[in-house]
Amino acid sequence: MLKPNLYDLPEIFRDFYQQDNLVGASGQLHGLGSGSGSTLNNLLIINSLFHDRIPLRTLEIGFCHGVSGLLLLSLHELYDKGGTHHAIDPFQSTAWDSVGKLQVNHWNLDNRFTLYEDFSCHVLSKLCLEKKKYDLIYIDGSHLFEDVFVDLYYSLRLLEDGGVVLFDDSTDPHVAKVLTFIESNYDEFLKPLDLVKYRGNRIFDKIKYKAAAKLKFSQLTGYEKQSDKYLRDWRVKLERF
C-alpha cells in the first residue's frame, strides 16, 4: 500500500522507490535504505521545488544508490522538456556496486543522464572549464568541511543566475560551518531560500518546519544565486563564521 505522500512523486520514481532490493553489478542485492539515500522529507521538498521552478539542467554531488538522482530524472521525464541530470560520485562502481547506474538504465533514463565517476573537486573544476551551467545543484557528497566548501565554491560558478543550490545534512557540523560562511560572507551572492513553502500543505507541518528552519534544525537548506558577479575584491573583510 502506497504511503499517501508518495502520490505527490512522479510515477517512475514511486515504482523505483517501492522496490525492496536493488541488484548491483556483482549480482548482490542492496536494500534501498542501506545506502544513506536522501530522506523522504528531502525528496518531497525537492519534488515541490522542481514543480515550482522546472530546472532544466540539474547536478548532484553524491549519487550513491541513485535515490535523489532517480527523482530528478523522473521529474525531467515527466516534463519532457529536454531536461538533463548530471551526477558525480567516485565510488559508484566500487562501494555502491553500480546500483544507481543500473537503476537509471532499468527505468530507461540513460538518455538524460551523465555520471562522472571521480571526486567532485576534479569534476567540478572540469565542468567550470567547459563553461557548463546548471539551474539546480544538490550537494550531498562528502560531508567533510573542506569538501563541502569546495563543492560550494564551484557550485556558485556553475549555477545559472537565479539557480538554486541545496545542501543535505545541514545540521552536520561540517556542513553547518559552510552554511554560516555563506550567510556571513557570501550573502550578496546567495540568498536563503524559503523551503517551508515546499513542505506540504498541512499547517502543523508548516509551523514545525518554520521553527526548525529558525533554529537551524532543518536537514535541507537552499540558496538562490543572486548574480553572476561572484568574484570578490581581494581586500574584502572576512566576517567571522
Ligand X SMILES: C[S@@+](CC[C@H](N)C(=O)[O-])C[C@H]1O[C@@H](n2cnc3c(N)ncnc32)[C@H](O)[C@@H]1O
77 near ligand X, rule: CB under 6 A:
no
Residues 15-54: x/- map of binding to ligand X (CB under 6 A)? Answer: ---------------------xxx----------------
Least separation, in Å, of the C-beta of 190 and ligand X? 21
Q: Which stretch binds ligand X (CB under 6 A): 17-25, 26-34, 82-90, 182-190?
A: 82-90
Q: Give the shortest CB-141-to-ligand X separation in angstroms.
A: 3
Q: Which residues pair with 189 in a beta bridge?
A: none
Cα distances (angstroms) measured from residue 105 to each of 68, 72, 128: 15, 14, 27
Scanning 11-19, 63-71, 157-165, 180-188 for contacts with ligand X by CB under 6 A, the matching segment is 63-71
Q: Which residues contact 84 (CB under 8 A, 6 or more apart)?
A: 56, 57, 58, 76, 112, 113, 114
Q: Phi and psi of 17, rounded to 5°?
A: -70, -20
Measured from the CB atom, the residue of 146 and 239 that comes closer to ligand X is: 146
> Residue count at the site for ligand X (CB under 6 A)?
24
35 vs 83, beta carbon nearer ligand X = 35
Helix axes 145-158, 173-185, angle to 10 degrees: 40
In angstroms, the first-to-last Cα distance of the chain is 47
All cell numbers assigned to 146: 573542506
By CB under 6 A, name the one of 75, 137, 140, 186 that touches ligand X.
140
